[in-house]
Structure 1
């Protein structure tokens, strides 16, 4: 992992095949004060969609800020599903009939919007509309699950699609730039203030961007504690296995599968470089960030699960993990940030971030332009608001808030239970890290491939949680709110905005 060029060291099928981080166009760093109509923070698919929709109207100038490279965050670590939920019972309980209808309409409109953008700008990203199949326990057996077999057993969802997310956002970024949008990489947002009917964003190089509106599209909220407490950070895992195309398709058609068993799994197919073969991409095994250390076992469980159902699957070609944020009611927070006039937020995508990105582009663009949008109430970050923001968070997120608050005593528990000390550093294998105790202080330790030891405080600068070593991605992850740091302490994922300090 080099700086903030990637949020993980594992090679996803998209980042590897598209060689996104080395061959993608580079955008400059913002090195002077600037002024615009809207500043968008976050250069993933959500931020790019918001910038695109605003620029498409011809009414707003846009500056987009990305602290790494375009596509270096979580977009390229997804599995490339574009899906409208096909089981709405939970939504009916939580959002009622009207709210569920708005969710369905928004998701369908999002996929249609992505399709129209691909066509208009001729983006070469393998966008394909496919059938989708949802199961409650996908059966095992000796026969491979081809589409013609599935069609006899299950009803298909119609409005689903697949694409290569990294190629798509490359094309989307080009469209944003061609329309006059200003994109800046290696430019980190630090804070903002509202005054005189506008917003001023402060950057890590002491430069400022003045705007009428600011949009936070950073996956993890970077501004208010109350918004951070309303989402839960999870790691999700994926493997891609080589398989004969004829064993996973019927007449060349692809598909999406979702197995709602425990644990939850999701499956798609994407073309392989070798003619006659495809890659079977299987995801799942979600777990709370920093709470477990069985990373390799999770990859192995995904592989075993796939082989039990697609018996002709070959070698694993790729394996990777990504980070998602879950809200308590299953849908994203998209809209005006509670308590602020000209600040908007997009977060809590519940693993459907690619679809919600297009929803966010349409919805936030409408809100900034003062246009009515029928989805605004359903996705509002202030939904079901009553009383103070903290009381609202406690009311709507009792389980998540309770768990996050319990994490505040993690330090005491760690001190009393950790038996690893600085003398254990000698036992570290080169290329691995750990968190050890030096007196009463937690220390994050990484031994590089040359055997040199790097020591940092293990206390996250955000809210003082103690990080945990992620051996799969070679990162230090905070279990409280999902902040992540490279093996040498550089921040790659918020809400933390600064590094782990060297010891």
Structure 2
């Protein structure tokens, strides 16, 4: 983005939440600008396993117990309407996005988990979903039980979003890629969004859909817990397709589905091995996930592997809506690993607020909500984590105590001349040294040895080995401290 732009609404973030919101607002007749730090549909959304489901683990029993059955019904309604919205939009736009209807299962292999699964099935039914308890699945191994929810879906998110973007542009919308927003300021009744180039977007209202918000006006930072998960994918015979979408919280979480692939084959996608960004041993976690997939599904070779990141709120409900104290600012974050439906929920909710026609379930997602009993523990844990990483304890996990000890491909936080530095030795043997202090709020980064990135354990910012920002909320690179 090289020059200033003006619009009724600016949307920051080109994932499913941002693009869906931009199009919904354009359909409502507003002028809209979308600003994306890198490229649209290539960030978290581009790395998802893309389940379009209202079956989010044990969410309905949790909501029923914590907030009452009406909250569970609102959540189920919002998610189910999102699935229907994607189906209708894909059909309207003729999007070739591999949209497939599939049942969704939350399963367990331990007998101790059966009572909880039965309670979840009952709560999901009360919430309005066609849910049942079963011991019969298409998985190639036995389960003690599962919650089965009918009429769910899966799709190819990037193809869908590119069709959405084309329609948005046809409606007069503007998209600026490679335009990272570095500052958001209120100027009277307008918002001013400044990008790296120095250019700005002036708008009446702005939607922050950057996964982890780049502004903290509702004190969201300590209320979001980042986690990162690996995905491995391998072709399997079409006859071995388990015929649904599966998730379990056992064995460090495992999520399974398939997608169209070649003739007579399906592509098996398995997600799991969750870890805090920057924690040591990411490579070991990836190895465990690949081994689990081979053991359970007989895969010989992993064709693709990548990682995705998400943030969870203390009460497991996303923050979507107006930012208190930031007139004209809206936020969508904290999707907890279920961003495909929640991103569409965010688009409809925010568009409803902007046009004074919010959906009836809007209050459930209000970012200003606070439940002291439910949230005190997670917030305290997040604050403790932040304090710990502000003082650089991660240096004890380093594979080396001196830059000279690093092997090619290794990185470590090392104290050099009294300062903590993020030191990486590339495959040619050259050292790359940056400050180990995250530019977001000052926590000490850690090295992800599987993806060769520097990552902040406090709020999930990620940096390339040259310090470049890969993922926010940080907006500026790690400082060069080469010696």
Alignment of 1:295-334 (within 5 A): 295-310=282-297, 312-334=298-320
Q: Deviations over 1:208-247 (max 9, x none)?
A: 2111100000001100171111101101111112211101
Query: Could you tell me how far 1:70 is from its partner in structure 2?
Result: 1.1
Mapping of residues 255-334 of structure 1, within 5 Å: 255-273=244-262, 275-291=263-279, 293-310=280-297, 312-334=298-320
TM-score by length of structure 1 reads: 0.85
**Correspondence 1:211 to 2:203:** yes
Q: 1:380 to 1:427 in 2, by over 3 A?
A: same
Provide the C-alpha distance between the structure 1 equivalents of 2:375 and 2:432, rounded to a whole number of angstroms: 42
Superposition pairs of residues 18-97 of structure 1, within 5 angstroms: 30-58=1-29, 60-85=30-55, 87=58, 88-97=60-69
Give the 3 Å change call, closer, same or farther, for CA 353–449 of structure 1 in structure 2. Answer: same
Residue pairs, 1:10-409, within 5 angstroms: 30-58=1-29, 60-85=30-55, 87=58, 88-137=60-109, 146=138, 156-224=148-216, 226-249=219-242, 254-273=243-262, 275-291=263-279, 293-310=280-297, 312-384=298-370, 396-409=375-388
**Equivalent residue number for residue 452 of structure 1:** 430
CA shift in 2, pair 1:152/1:446, >3 Å: closer
State the 1:490 CA deviation: 0.4
Looking at structure 2, the residues matched to 151 and 417 of structure 1 have their Cα atoms a distance apart, in angstroms, of 40
Q: Does the CA-based 8 Å contact 1:415-1:440 persist in structure 2?
A: no
* Equivalent residue number for residue 121 of structure 2: none
Question: 1:262: how far off?
Answer: 4.0
Per the TM alignment, residue 450 of structure 1 is displaced from its structure 2 partner at its CA by: 2.4
Structure 2 distance, partners of 1:149, 1:444, is: 44
Selected match of 1:464 from 439, 442, 448: 442
Contact 1:137 1:260 in 2 (8 A): no
Q: State the alpha-carbon separation in 1 of the partners of residues 397 and 451 from structure 2.
A: 23
Deviations 1:132-153 (A, max 9, x none): 12212289xxxx9637999997
Q: Is the 8 A contact 1:483 1:496 kept in 2?
A: yes
Change (3 A) 1:96 1:127: same
| Conserved 8 A contact 1:419-1:437 | no
Count of matched residue positions in the alignment of Structure 1 and Structure 2: 454
Equivalents in 2 of 1:421, 1:150: separation in Å? 44
Measured against aligned partners, the alpha-carbon deviations of 1:400-425 in whole angstroms (never above 9, x if no partner) come to 34333443243445388477777x32
C-alpha distance in structure 1 between counterparts of 2:226 and 2:213, whole Å: 11
Normalising by structure 2, report the TM-score.
0.88
Counterpart contact for 2:103–2:152, Cα < 8 Å = yes
For the 8 Å contact 1:421–1:437, the answer to whether it is kept is: no
Which residue of the partner structure matches residue 435 of structure 1?
413
Q: 1:89 to 1:440 in 2, by over 3 A?
A: same
